[in-house]
Amino acid sequence: MKSKRITLNLWEAIGHYAIAILLLLISAIYFRYLLRILLFEVDIPFESMIGIIMTGSIFFLASLLVFDIKRKQLLFTKIEGRISHSDALQAIEMTAQQLNWKARKAKENSFEFSKYEVAWREIIRITVEPNEIFFNSISDPKNFSSLTSLGFDENKKNLNFFVTNLKIVTNELPAHALVPESEWTLKKTIFRIFAYPFCLSLIPLGVYSFIHPVNFRSPWAGLGGIIVSLVYLYSDLKMVFKKNKAYR
């Protein structure tokens, strides 16, 4: 585990970063149109030019933010402590039963699981080494769920349950300590305060691009913005209102 990062092939990388790539392409459409205006001295209202610059910049900054989030999702979380191999295996077994993980690969020290739900698939990788464990959980890059995963999702739940079970096994916590994490922590709430208005603003902007296109590419840019917004809002709200099946 020298890199402590998951290595993706080309198609997996495209799937993993797809939403960031889409946002970047939308911003490129706006900036390409702006470049044509400047090079060929196209006469358009100053307000329209400012609107093109602002819209392109918003999509560009959003693509950088999403790219950074998706990049960090590939990192392994390092868990250190006086952890025996048998304790690690017991915590893995407990978490797999609670969250319905399905075994994919298993070696002496490396384990890979998958978790399936409707339109959602997660890949969990765990490597056990002396007194340390490397854990990673991401949405499957080959599945639609990779488009909607921006960090506040079931992958965090996998890690939280595993760490808590590990502490229970090593007697750092009582057996009843496992409780669901709130979907309205301070970090998640602050993120949503910015993300929800941004996504909601992209929908009327996309509709406007259909009604008043600045060029033939504008409707496609607007469609991309609408898709990105709806996909994120749907997946996040679904996560917020979803009941914790582990405690049924």
Domains of the chain are 76-183 (3.30.310.80)
- What is the CA 10 to chain-centroid distance, rounded? 18
CA distances from 245 to 24, 55, 99, 117, 166 (A): 37, 41, 8, 12, 20
Residue 134 has a pLDDT of 93
What's the CA gap between 207 and 229, in Å, rounded? 12
Closest CA to 120 of 236, 212, 31: 236
CA distances from 196 to 230, 243, 248 (A): 10, 22, 30
Per-residue pLDDT of the chain (248 residues), as tens digits, is 445 888 889 988 988 898 889 889 889 988 988 888 888 877 888 888 888 888 889 889 989 988 998 888 899 999 988 888 999 999 999 999 998 999 998 888 999 999 886 557 889 999 999 889 999 998 888 776 666 666 545 577 888 899 999 988 888 766 555 555 566 667 678 878 888 888 888 888 888 887 877 667 778 778 878 887 887 787 777 767 764 443 34
> Using an 8 Å Cβ cutoff, are 209 and 218 in contact?
yes
**What pLDDT, on the 0 to 100 scale, is given for residue 151?**
52
Residue 125's pLDDT is 94
Q: Would you tell me how many other CB atoms lie within 10 Å of the CB of residue 176?
A: 7
The residues near 226 (Cβ < 8 Å, ≥ 6 apart) are 202, 203, 206, 207
